[in-house]
Homo-oligomer: A and B are copies of this chain.
Amino acid sequence: MDLHGGNIYRLEREGKSSILDYSSNINPLGVPETFKKAVIENFDVLVKYPDPDYIELRSSISKYNSLNIENVVVGNGATEVLFLYMQALRPKKALIVAPSFAEYKRALESVDCEIIYYKLLPEKNFALNIEEFSKNIPQCDLVIICNPNNPTGTFIPLENIKRINNILKVKKIKLFIDEAFIEFIKGWEEMTAANLRDENIFIMRALTKFFAVPGLRLGYGIYFDKEIASQLLMKKEPWSVNSFADIAGKVMLKDEKYITATEEWIDKEKKWFFEECNKINKIRAYKTNTNFILIKLIADTAENIKVKMLEKNILVRDASNFVGLDEHYIRLAIKNRDNNIKVLEALKEVVE
């Protein structure tokens, strides 16, 4: 199984401890206090099954996104939403814009779908050229785009998503957009594909990254297609979202203080981190729109650098197994300034 980031548990079992985990792109502000308070106060919700319709949770999520409750399906992490959508659509052939998150492939394989890749190029900074792309879309059932893209940090503006979608609609190809990291972009509310309210588009989101709760398992899908709705409901396992995740969705999405603090942190930190990276010799950092950064190692391999960084108790993501990348790429999370300084210093030492 190809997992997000590194397997910190395996390292700990092997005797490594207090590792600074820069392989996992989680908000350094930590679990919102408002949520902790709500869990302690409502601990006994566990003795009941969750609401199978998740009415209150879906209502909170739809308000947060200025949508209606019918546009929202919730899942046990974004992963369940991803696998569920594939079960519902059952594409025969899908195109993944790569490099990107490895779970799309696994989800497509779970429904025996043929997979092709459209590769973004490092020499073009992994930007998607719409004209080029349009000419090269083969007949298929589904196109998958991660936006902002993991691991490149690139972002396709809404008007271009609209153009792509219009081209796909003519060809009767559905569009799946993973927006798990979009909230790290200032003004994301204006930039999400949800604004298009288009039947052809399915959007995946997670609370994991922005609210620092990957252990909680809460993701959701946004959609406007009534046909897929009945398929989703039929295939869905009941009560897949646990009661604490249910509470989280209701509490955290209203936590303006946490949201504002996060926006201020990332807005400042991502620019700084990118600039500092590019002051280091023998690496090349790609400009990022979100809370992680892709780095090309000019003179060394990711495997080597990962080992050397681990000797300094820092775990980085060896990005060489992303389709379209090679053995020279690593991905770093962006966290708080103190730790970012430590990581940059360590990186400088190991690469120069």
Number of identical protomers:
2
Asked if A138 is at the interface of the complex by the 8 Å CB criterion, the answer is: no
8 A Cβ contacts from A14-61 to B: 21, 24, 26, 30-31, 36, 39-40, 43-53, 55
Contacting pair A80 B31 (CB below 8 A)? no
Contacting pair A9 B214 (CB below 8 A)? no
A215: shortest Cβ distance to chain B, in Å?
A: 3
Complex contacts, A21 vs chain B, CB 8 Å: 48
A313: shortest Cβ distance to chain B, in Å?
A: 16
Asked if A170 is at the interface of the complex by the 8 Å CB criterion, the answer is: no
Contacting pair B212 A47 (CB below 8 A)? yes
Contacting pair A242 B245 (CB below 8 A)? yes
Asked if A110 is at the interface of the complex by the 8 Å CB criterion, the answer is: yes
Contacting pair B239 A9 (CB below 8 A)? no
Checking B1, B79, B239 against A77 with a beta-carbon cut-off of 8 angstroms, the contacting residue is B239
A76 and B50 alpha carbons, distance in the complex (Å): 13
Contacting pair B80 A215 (CB below 8 A)? no
Contacting pair B240 A76 (CB below 8 A)? yes
Contacting pair A240 B217 (CB below 8 A)? yes
Complex contacts, A40 vs chain B, CB 8 Å: 40
Asked if A336 is at the interface of the complex by the 8 Å CB criterion, the answer is: no
Complex contacts, A30 vs chain B, CB 8 Å: 44, 47
A52 and B217 alpha carbons, distance in the complex (Å): 13
In the complex, what residue of chain B is closest to A42 when comparing beta carbons? B215
Contacting pair A48 B215 (CB below 8 A)? yes
Asked if A216 is at the interface of the complex by the 8 Å CB criterion, the answer is: yes
Complex contacts, A5 vs chain B, CB 8 Å: 49
Contacting pair A50 B240 (CB below 8 A)? no
Asked if A4 is at the interface of the complex by the 8 Å CB criterion, the answer is: yes
Q: How does the 8 Å CB contact mask read for A286-323 relative to B, with 1 for contact and 0 for none?
A: 00000000000000000000000000000000000000
A240 and B239 alpha carbons, distance in the complex (Å): 13
Complex contacts, A110 vs chain B, CB 8 Å: 87, 235
A interface residues (Cβ-Cβ under 8 A, vs B): 1, 3-5, 7-10, 13, 21, 24, 26, 30-31, 36, 39-40, 43-53, 55, 76-77, 79-80, 83, 87, 103, 110, 212-217, 233, 235-240, 242-246
29 A-B pairs with C-beta separation under 8 A: A1-B52, A1-B238, A3-B52, A3-B238, A7-B51, A9-B52, A9-B55, A21-B48, A26-B48, A30-B44, A30-B47, A39-B39, A45-B215, A46-B212, A46-B214, A47-B213, A47-B215, A49-B215, A50-B214, A50-B215, A76-B76, A76-B80, A80-B240, A103-B238, A110-B235, A215-B243, A215-B244, A215-B246, A242-B242
A26-B48, A45-B215, A79-B238 given. 6 additional CB < 8 A pairs?
A: A9-B51, A24-B49, A30-B47, A47-B214, A76-B76, A76-B242
The 10 closest A-B pairs by CB, nearest first: A215-B243, A9-B51, A46-B215, A217-B242, A49-B214, A46-B213, A79-B237, A31-B46, A47-B212, A76-B76
